[in-house]
Amino acid sequence: MENKTGSFIAHRRKELGMTQRQLAEILGVTNKAVSKWETGQGMPDVGMLPELSRALGVTVDEILDGKEVVREDLPTEAVIEVLPYEGSLLDLAVERAAKKMSGVSVKPCDVAGVLCLFLAAGLIAVQVWYLLRGRSYGLTYLTDYIPAVMSGASVVLLWLGGIFVRCLRHIWKKGCVLIAAAILFITGIAVNVVFRPEGREIISISPGASNIMRLKLTEDGSADLYRQRGVIFAAQWDTFPFTVKDSIKIQWLEDDVCAMTYESPDDGDVHQYVATYGDRGSGISYYYVFSMVHGTWAAEDDRDNYAIEVIDGPGAGITVHTPEGTKSYTADQCLQYGTLALVFPRENPQWTLVMNKDCVLDENDSGIEEGGTLTLCRVGMDKTAPLILDRASGEGKLSLIPSKAMSDETLKDKD
């Protein structure tokens, strides 16, 4: 029976102009299996017979009997059933694959595994892109430890992906695969730690977690400020004008204003650098803080002790009134950072003034609308508490600021 069936399959295949390989591809078997059928060394599986009959354009009975039935003796329905498949061989193969896929069930663990594999591939792609292109754009990682974390995470995700996907699980659970994953994990982290750039870095996140400040300090005391670019990258923005003696005091005066105070061995004085990450206007045009905050401002909690008067135009400057006395600074003595902060005086700075986030510029960009506040903070290496200033309005508020003559006299007494 096997010889008849095999001979019939070979005869019918040749009539249709198919090779053993083509028939095997349609049925989803190897060409060796087709060869065994045709030489009588084996029989097709029962479940394979319907597909084989369609591919050859005959009935299952004809395959089993090993001979073709005369078509005139068959009912009309049977003749239609055994007509050769009119579509292309590719269509028949696609149809067969679709039937197989319809019986495949996808479980949540398979989805999780594929997701882990995609994440691992993404981490590896990012690291390769940085090595090949990212550094040429002046980019660096936001922190020096990110490469080690990414290397370790990519190995873990690859292994988890193989464990979750059912068809890969038996391979990933082998001892040799576990050992290879452990070696890659340890090696990837170790290499990144050993080759980590020299120098000390300082990372500080704003209170609202919307901005990240990164400083890189070298052995000679120079300090480079970096700004975030994307999620995990940063680019150098500026370098401190003075070298850093020891530690740096980091203080966020607003969610987008970071003040960095430090002592420098260059002159032995205290200096401050202010990093700003926002804008109170449209973000397109540049404006001077002096022009926006002109007027009198007083502390919310203790108005009789702390107040400032900002004068714009001729004789522009700031007068600061405190319990210790009053001091005036000219505009030339004030150093502006971005469009949000003033530090004064330039030499041996004493105060930092910041436009808070509730400041909204008026329609003519000539000042701040009502309701905006300022932050005034002493400059020093010790812990300092910022003061919130409201715009002083109404009669008598200007009297909070002593005259310049009184200010000079008070300063003489202090000296």
> Whose structure tokens read 């319809």?
102
**Range from 105-119, 151-165, 293-307 that averages highest in pLDDT:** 151-165
Which pLDDT does position 133 carry in this prediction? 92
Mean local confidence (pLDDT), 171-180: 88
Mean local confidence (pLDDT), 82-111: 59
Which pLDDT does position 98 carry in this prediction? 61
**For residue 365, what are the β-bridge partners?**
none
**Range from 91-95, 243-247, 278-282 that averages highest in pLDDT:** 243-247
C-alpha gyration radius of the chain: 40
Amino acid 220 reads: D
Which pLDDT does position 2 carry in this prediction? 57
Q: With 50 as the cut, is the pLDDT of residue 398 above it?
A: no
Which pLDDT does position 153 carry in this prediction? 94
Question: With bands split at pLDDT 50, 70 and 90, how would you rate the model's confidence at 302?
Answer: low
Q: With 60 as the cut, is the pLDDT of residue 409 above it?
A: no
Mean local confidence (pLDDT), 299-312: 76
Which pLDDT does position 101 carry in this prediction? 55
If DSSP states are collapsed to H, E and C, what string results for 79-130?
HHHHCCCCCCHHHHHHHHHHHHHHCCCCCHHHHHHHHHHHHHHHHHHHHHHH
Mean local confidence (pLDDT), 83-98: 54
Rounded Cα distance between 64 and 70, Å, is 15
Which residues, in sequence order, are CB contacts of 338 under 8 Å at separation 6+? 274, 276, 278, 279
Which pair of tokens denotes residue 307?
A: 């107040």
Q: With 80 as the cut, is the pLDDT of residue 346 above it?
A: yes
Q: Which has more pLDDT, 206 or 108?
A: 206
Quick check: 203 and 195 in contact, CB under 8 A?
no
Sign of CA dihedral 304, 308, 313, 316: positive
Question: With bands split at pLDDT 50, 70 and 90, how would you rate the model's confidence at 188?
Answer: confident
Rounded Cα distance between 84 and 7, Å, is 18
Picking from 63-72, 292-301, 343-352, which range would have the lowest pLDDT averaged per residue? 63-72
Rounded Cα distance between 172 and 187, Å, is 19
Which pLDDT does position 411 carry in this prediction? 33
Mean local confidence (pLDDT), 26-31: 82
For the whole model, what pTM was predicted? 0.67
Q: With 60 as the cut, is the pLDDT of residue 239 above it?
A: yes
Q: Which has more pLDDT, 204 or 1?
A: 204
Mean local confidence (pLDDT), 183-205: 88
* Long-range pairs, 147-152, Cβ under 8 A, ≥24: 147/192, 148/188, 148/189, 148/192, 148/193, 148/196, 150/123, 150/126, 151/127, 151/185, 151/188, 151/189, 151/191, 151/192, 152/185, 152/188, 152/189
Mean local confidence (pLDDT), 46-54: 81
Question: With bands split at pLDDT 50, 70 and 90, how would you rate the model's confidence at 99?
Answer: low
Q: Which has more pLDDT, 237 or 96?
A: 237
Q: With 70 as the cut, is the pLDDT of residue 95 above it?
A: no
Which pair of tokens denotes residue 161?
A: 């992906």
Q: With 50 as the cut, is the pLDDT of residue 124 above it?
A: yes
Which pair of tokens denotes residue 312?
A: 């714009």
| Dihedrals phi, psi of 351, to nearest 5 degrees | -140, 150
Which pLDDT does position 371 carry in this prediction? 86
Which pLDDT does position 204 carry in this prediction? 94
Rounded Cα distance between 109 and 76, Å, is 50
